[in-house]
Chain A
Amino acid sequence: MAAGGLNPVDAVNAVNAMNTTPSITARTAAQAALDRPLTLLICALGGEGGGVLTQWLVDAARLAGHRAQATSIPGVAQRTGSTTYYLEFDPRRESERAGAPLVFNLSPVPGALDALVSSELLETARQAGNGMLSAERTLVLSSSARTLTTLERMAPGDGRLDDQALMKLAAAFSREHHVLDMAGLARQHGTVVSAVMLGAIAGSGLLPFERRHFEDAVKAGGGSSASTQASLKGFAAACDEVASARTRGAFVAQVLGTGAAASRAQPDDAQPTPAPVGQPSNAPSAAAQRLLAGDTRFPEALRPLLTLGCERLFAYQGAGYARLYLDRVASVLQAEQAKAAAAAPTPGQPAEEGPITREVARGLAVWMAFDDVIRVAELKSRGARLQRVRSEARAGAQDVLKVYDHFKPGVPEFAALLPAGLARRLQAWDARRQARGLTAWALPLKIGTHTVTGVLALRALGLLKPLRPLGSRWAAEQTLIEQWLETVRNGTRQQAQLGLELARCCRLVKGYGGTHDRGREQLLHVLQHLAPAQGTPAQTEAAAQAVAAAREAALADGSGKALAEALRHHGAPPQAVREQPIRWVRKPPRTSQKAEV
């Protein structure tokens, strides 16, 4: 193992040597500060131009005469995973440097970040969670915009994280923070978010560069003149916003107050959303209000909600149906008031409506106006809807807009409109088909709803409305609604919390086709197995917890695994396994095929 007879001393001397320095611990604090690079971490998502932003910053540093180093974990570019870019800058110009150049490092150091710039709120919070941000040192420049993760979007209920919680993390782990709607600014100026992020950095005063250095870097970056101009506009907007916020010095209040509210009011979508069209127009409103006006059963606080419900059901199936709605709500109100009175009798006080009635009034209106072919046709043929599509698709006045709707009515949809007997025969026919290994029958349609025939077809479907109560689905829905209401009332009589949890279960029934069927089965299962007909206080309390757990599990996980686990945990029987035709695949014995050849 001898290396050509070199002696150890020669070997060490032969490697590069540097002058020994006096003790480092003896340095002053001021020296130490100048000895430290300015550090900046950028969080972006793939495809947001983080690489371009990094290049701009490096170029700006060079133009300003500072040394800089950048590096990145680009992730899998363009595929919306999270990506990070890390930069270090010499706080002094090269011309002012004394001694050796600063040694730059390649990765961010927790607690030693001067700034974090992030295009997405969850990514900001993630860095706080990693311990990266320090309340003593880090300036946080974050977008209020959320790009939801797949996990958040997948839940059958509402799987979104709470923006406020994320915002609090950013506030708690920063010496100063500015939260602005970067995505909105980018959109407004027709540019990408990277330009806006650059503006925020420039406006924050983090780097000892002049504004023109940043702007010149953008201009030097190439690209078409139009895109450069758009970048500069987005840059200026963010730069001014952050700079003026700093001079006002009122960020904290702004961020915790309106900043958060604004982000919720303006969710992911870019398009200016026109007024909600979920509610029918004014005509039935008056009639609905008349209906409600004569009804003295309800407390005042409940009336705005009931008005909405009445309007919807009046438009859906007329005055009688709206009246049925009010009667149903009243029955729950009565049960809730009775329970409240029994629990804490306060004579002389007018009975107030409680959370159970409120939840039933809301959910029942949605359920009773269940989405069938007729309702969908009606919603899709509204004039306001075409206006909304125009704006969502960003079609200009001179542009031709064609709108195609995807429908695939199957046997269940047709059977829904037929009387029970006929519906059963139709469904039996389809079941036999499926047993033979065929797929369920359905009619895929792509209807051009901008065409005359398309609109006529939708309007014709809408005309079937009077026949709706004759259909099998109508009967089935009313039966299930009654069953749910009865369970809610019964639960309420036992314990208010149980009633409330059961009332909230109406959220399970939604969707179309298979999704709807599954939701209905889940609700039935909960009603049958988790809601006791009668029980001790301890039992009803446990039941309330079980109902809540099962409901939340079903709404969190579309595959049903979480629900199965929740049912098992609370000692309820599992849901029945769905029937599925078995397909046998012929598996030949493993004889040598080659031998026969």
Chain B
Amino acid sequence: MEVSFSQEIESLKLGAGQTFHGEGILAVTKALLQSGVSYVGGYQGAPVSHLLDVMVQARDYLDTLGVHVEACSNEASAAAMLGASLHYPLRGAVTWKSIVGTNVAADALSNLSSPGVMGGTLIVVGEDYGEGASVIQERTHAYALKSGMCLLDPRPDLPRLVEMVEQGFGLSEASNMPVLLELRIRACHVRGSFPTKDNRAPAISTRALMSDPARFDYMRLAHPPVTFRQEKLKVEQRIPAARRYIVEQGLNELMPGRHEELGLIVQGGVWPALQRAMQQLGLADGRGNAEIPVLVMNVAYPVVPEQVVGFCAGKRAVLLAEEGQPEYLEQEIALHLRRADVQTRLHGKDLLPSGGEYTVEVLARGLLAYADQHLPGAVSAEGRQWLADITRRREAAAAMLAEPLPARPPTFCVGCPERPVFSALKLAQQQVGDLHVAADIGCHAFGTFEPFSMGHSILGYGMSLASRAGVSPMMQRRTLAIMGDGGFWHNGLLTGVQSALFNGDDAVLLIFKNGYTSATGTQDLISTPAASDKASADDKGRSLAHTNRTIESALQGLGVQWMRTVHTYEVERMRQTLVEAFTSDFNGLKVVVAEGECQLERQRRLKPWVAGLLARGERVERVKYGVDEDVCNGDHACIRLSGCPTLGLKDNPDPLKVDPVATVLEGCVGCGLCGENAHAATLCPSFYRAEVVRNPRWGERLVDGVRRAVTSWLRAA
């Protein structure tokens, strides 16, 4: 990874009496160190990638504290790492993107929760929910319920967040339950500040090693017969202990209000939006004071029955703002009220939508319905007007537009080595017919957007090859599975390749070997080009993916017989290779390795190198593509075959022509795809490749001078 986190690492070192300024996820990272964590692991994924990225780069500093950092191969391996806290009083933390990562980790989490932990364990999950999220289905909450883990959903205010991390370890140790800390996207990226404390070097660490393993203790194994006893312990001891800790430490907060006959209950993470919604409706001020009392559940599980029942008792009606579905909290609170025979009316998903992000507007509409029913006249006229105006404005804007505005999904970066493969795939399908494409998680999932629109299923990270196992036996044509190297190492090697080989499946697997898990922020993998290869490369911008052949060796080792490695920018060769894979007489697994290093990493390497060369007055060659505006016909076939963001449109300079012509915009990195596509697809002769040599050598300059003189005479006016 070429991105440097040196500034972030400095803020991890802050001590007592200083102030941290930065993002929420980094504050959590700092809080881990303040809590005396011994080991940290995880798997990258938005919005929590930074935790691990910064930790991995801070290894030298962490080593001084004796903290171990492990970049795990997937979430299951990260969860299994928490096994260290089963027998030993070690505080450990892991992180991943939820719900996907938690699903992958489920087995280890279940078997960690059964025996219960001795050292505090914290699982920081990025609850990827709401606007900008990629996996909004399911709630992490379900895992807390079914495995018996605590779930923290703190108010996204940095001091509170940091405190909850420290309290999370305490809660885990008090209850022997692993603790999930759930952070929504905006909470991960919130910029704020908090007063720091000194980092705590853990008592047991890589610098203070344990001399002996723990003695054999069957109760620490998730294995029958003790699992039956462990299930009892969860209910009889651990959950009550957790509830005691929650109450004693005041983890949940009560915000008082004048109308004591009413009440609101909210997850900590949703509290700021609820507070603002109340302010908009005239039910609160901007400083956290509200007309209606609010119970803020910074701990979403376990619920303390006495606390919620005590809050609800004597009130006419309570509204629960619980984001996500199903309404686990509502079900549980209703149950506690019923058991305690408290007749307070409980509102929740009857007034608020069952799914989707609880934005201020959504909450305000629910609150309005609640207030109208139980506190008529309390909502201000301005508040009502504000809500009505939103609807009116949306309608007015829609009326001003002929049709809905086009979406702007993310796409492959400029110069991305994966785009050419989709071009080749589009061309190959013109030859062999349309294909069933089993897609996967990763940058290559952008191939599902325009202009490629390819992919029939996405079943999980590295699951593409496995997901076509039932399709290929039922189809005349061969199927294609697409996988990145991230997916390959995360899961695909075993669930896909091994299974296909073992069953003798006839399938085609296309592996994007770009050297990183790029979609999550270009983290390094076992197949990442070595630092020594990067250092010794003459041309820093060149792809170095070919220098690491771990994927190829692994496939050969498993017994893959048909394998072709093709550089992604060779569109014509890629097309031929794909056609060959689809028509070959070989009936087993056919693997095409599409090799080309992630452009982001190459550019990060290239830019400082070129700047250095130019500063020293040395020769630098730069490539840019262009379109001859008078040759371009304005049919945009090139864009439909590439979709590159720097392939734009401009008004046709020819007064006789109507349609806009293609044009290459400023950001072009000269990847060469335009030229390759023009050749492979017999597109159009309007593309040119311009190579600009800065500080040319004298011989070059001489040849150029002669050429310029002769050709200017040869050229037409």
Shortest CB-to-CB span from B610 to chain A, Å, is 14
A510→B632 CA distance, assembly (Å): 9
Contacting pair A393 B191 (CB below 8 A): no
Q: Known contacts being A109-B360, A165-B401, A510-B633, is A69 close to B192, with CB within 8 Å? A: yes
Q: State whether the Cβ of A248 lies closer than 8 Å to any Cβ in chain B.
A: no
Contacting pair B191 A371 (CB below 8 A): no
Q: State whether the Cβ of B396 lies closer than 8 Å to any Cβ in chain A.
A: yes
A62→B408 CA distance, assembly (Å): 34
A264→B660 CA distance, assembly (Å): 12
The 4 closest A-B pairs by CB, nearest first: A8-B310, A81-B410, A73-B132, A278-B654
Among B186, B406, B433, point to the contact of A149 (Cβ < 8 A).
B406
Contacting pair B386 A277 (CB below 8 A): no
Shortest CB-to-CB span from A352 to chain B, Å, is 21
18 A-B pairs whose Cβ atoms sit less than 8 Å apart in the complex: A6-B304, A8-B306, A18-B255, A24-B283, A71-B186, A74-B132, A102-B287, A158-B660, A160-B660, A187-B666, A269-B650, A278-B654, A371-B633, A376-B631, A439-B431, A511-B633, A511-B684, A513-B684
**1/0 per residue B8-33: CB within 8 Å of A?**
00000000000001001000000000
Q: State whether the Cβ of B54 lies closer than 8 Å to any Cβ in chain A.
A: no
Q: State whether the Cβ of B195 lies closer than 8 Å to any Cβ in chain A.
A: no
Contacting pair B692 A394 (CB below 8 A): yes
Residues of chain A with a CB closer than 8 A to B651's CB: 264, 267
Contacting pair B360 A107 (CB below 8 A): yes
Q: State whether the Cβ of B272 lies closer than 8 Å to any Cβ in chain A.
A: yes
Contacting pair A515 B628 (CB below 8 A): no
Q: State whether the Cβ of B648 lies closer than 8 Å to any Cβ in chain A.
A: yes
Interface residues of A in 16-33 (CB under 8 A from B): 16-25, 27, 31-32
Among A35, A74, A269, point to the contact of B663 (Cβ < 8 A).
A269
Residues of chain B with a CB closer than 8 A to A69's CB: 190-192
Q: State whether the Cβ of B282 lies closer than 8 Å to any Cβ in chain A.
A: yes
Q: Known contacts being A76-B519, A446-B675, A452-B707, is A151 close to B693, with CB within 8 Å? A: no
Q: State whether the Cβ of B131 lies closer than 8 Å to any Cβ in chain A.
A: yes
Shortest CB-to-CB span from A520 to chain B, Å, is 12
Contacting pair A24 B690 (CB below 8 A): no
Shortest CB-to-CB span from B19 to chain A, Å, is 10
Residues of chain B with a CB closer than 8 A to A452's CB: 707, 710-711, 714
Residues of chain B with a CB closer than 8 A to A403's CB: 688-691
Contacting pair B307 A12 (CB below 8 A): yes
Contacting pair A99 B287 (CB below 8 A): yes
Shortest CB-to-CB span from A512 to chain B, Å, is 4
Residues of chain A with a CB closer than 8 A to B258's CB: 20-23
Q: State whether the Cβ of B356 lies closer than 8 Å to any Cβ in chain A.
A: no
Contacting pair B253 A462 (CB below 8 A): no
Q: Known contacts being A14-B247, A585-B583, is A558 close to B291, with CB within 8 Å? A: no
**1/0 per residue A86-127: CB within 8 Å of B?**
100000000000011111111101111000000000110110
Contacting pair A71 B190 (CB below 8 A): yes
**1/0 per residue A286-312: CB within 8 Å of B?**
000000000000000000010011001
**1/0 per residue A125-161: CB within 8 Å of B?**
1101111011000000000000111111111111011
Contacting pair B291 A405 (CB below 8 A): no
Q: State whether the Cβ of B656 lies closer than 8 Å to any Cβ in chain A.
A: yes
A465→B21 CA distance, assembly (Å): 71
Q: Known contacts being A73-B131, A406-B675, is A268 close to B649, with CB within 8 Å? A: yes
Among B286, B310, B649, point to the contact of A12 (Cβ < 8 A).
B310
Contacting pair B393 A131 (CB below 8 A): yes
Q: State whether the Cβ of B412 lies closer than 8 Å to any Cβ in chain A.
A: yes
Among A46, A154, A389, A398, point to the contact of B410 (Cβ < 8 A).
A46
User: Which stretch of B118-126, B140-148, B473-481, B526-534 is in the interface?
Assistant: B473-481
Closest A residue to B310 using CB positions: A8
Residues of chain A with a CB closer than 8 A to B693's CB: 399-402
User: Which stretch of B92-100, B459-467, B543-551, B634-642 is in the interface?
Assistant: B634-642
Q: State whether the Cβ of B411 lies closer than 8 Å to any Cβ in chain A.
A: yes
Q: Known contacts being A150-B451, A459-B714, is A129 close to B688, with CB within 8 Å? A: no
Q: State whether the Cβ of B189 lies closer than 8 Å to any Cβ in chain A.
A: yes
Residues of chain B with a CB closer than 8 A to A129's CB: 394, 397-398, 401, 404-405
Q: State whether the Cβ of A365 lies closer than 8 Å to any Cβ in chain B.
A: yes
Residues of chain A with a CB closer than 8 A to B666's CB: 187, 269-270
User: Which stretch of B58-66, B81-89, B103-111, B694-702 is in the interface?
Assistant: B694-702
Contact residues on B (Cβ < 8 Å of other chain), bracket: 35 or more
Contacting pair B398 A406 (CB below 8 A): no
Shortest CB-to-CB span from B304 to chain A, Å, is 6
A587→B675 CA distance, assembly (Å): 37
Shortest CB-to-CB span from B635 to chain A, Å, is 4
Residues of chain B with a CB closer than 8 A to A21's CB: 258, 285, 289
Q: State whether the Cβ of B311 lies closer than 8 Å to any Cβ in chain A.
A: yes
Which of B185, B189, B386 has its CB near the most chain A CB atoms (within 10 A)?
B189
A378→B674 CA distance, assembly (Å): 22
User: Which stretch of A166-174, A252-260, A422-430, A469-477 is in the interface?
Assistant: A166-174
Q: Known contacts being A79-B411, A400-B701, A462-B716, is A24 close to B290, with CB within 8 Å? A: yes
Residues of chain B with a CB closer than 8 A to A106's CB: 156, 184, 186-187, 190, 272-273
A25→B284 CA distance, assembly (Å): 8
Q: State whether the Cβ of B257 lies closer than 8 Å to any Cβ in chain A.
A: yes
A67→B32 CA distance, assembly (Å): 26
**1/0 per residue B301-327: CB within 8 Å of A?**
000111101110100000000000000
Q: State whether the Cβ of A15 lies closer than 8 Å to any Cβ in chain B.
A: yes
A193→B640 CA distance, assembly (Å): 28
Interface residues of A in 52-95 (CB under 8 A from B): 54-55, 58, 62, 69-82, 84, 86
A577→B355 CA distance, assembly (Å): 45
Contacting pair B690 A267 (CB below 8 A): no
A309→B681 CA distance, assembly (Å): 31
Contacting pair A17 B477 (CB below 8 A): no
Contacting pair B190 A70 (CB below 8 A): yes
Which of A1, A10, A122, A406 has its CB near the most chain B CB atoms (within 10 A)?
A406
Which of A82, A160, A378, A402 has its CB near the most chain B CB atoms (within 10 A)?
A402
Q: State whether the Cβ of B658 lies closer than 8 Å to any Cβ in chain A.
A: yes
User: Which stretch of A379-387, A489-497, A534-542 is in the interface?
Assistant: A379-387
Q: State whether the Cβ of B715 lies closer than 8 Å to any Cβ in chain A.
A: yes
**1/0 per residue B651-682: CB within 8 Å of A?**
10111111110011110000000110011011
**1/0 per residue A386-397: CB within 8 Å of B?**
101100111110
Contacting pair B657 A402 (CB below 8 A): no
Which of B400, B654, B707, B716 has its CB near the most chain A CB atoms (within 10 A)?
B716
Closest A residue to B446 using CB positions: A79
Contacting pair A81 B636 (CB below 8 A): no
Among A122, A149, A512, A519, point to the contact of B684 (Cβ < 8 A).
A512
Residues of chain B with a CB closer than 8 A to A392's CB: 624, 626, 664, 690
A69→B254 CA distance, assembly (Å): 24
Contacting pair B678 A17 (CB below 8 A): no
Residues of chain A with a CB closer than 8 A to B186's CB: 71-73, 86, 106-107
Contacting pair A402 B691 (CB below 8 A): yes
**1/0 per residue A569-597: CB within 8 Å of B?**
00000000000100101111010011000
Contacting pair A111 B386 (CB below 8 A): yes
A128→B658 CA distance, assembly (Å): 30
Residues of chain B with a CB closer than 8 A to A11's CB: 247, 304, 306-307, 310
Closest A residue to B286 using CB positions: A35
A435→B552 CA distance, assembly (Å): 36
Residues of chain B with a CB closer than 8 A to A385's CB: 628, 630
**1/0 per residue B46-75: CB within 8 Å of A?**
100000000000000000000000000000
Shortest CB-to-CB span from B36 to chain A, Å, is 25
Q: State whether the Cβ of B618 lies closer than 8 Å to any Cβ in chain A.
A: no
Contacting pair B288 A103 (CB below 8 A): yes
A366→B631 CA distance, assembly (Å): 12
A25→B371 CA distance, assembly (Å): 14
Shortest CB-to-CB span from A144 to chain B, Å, is 15
**1/0 per residue B189-202: CB within 8 Å of A?**
11110000000000
Residues of chain A with a CB closer than 8 A to B561's CB: none
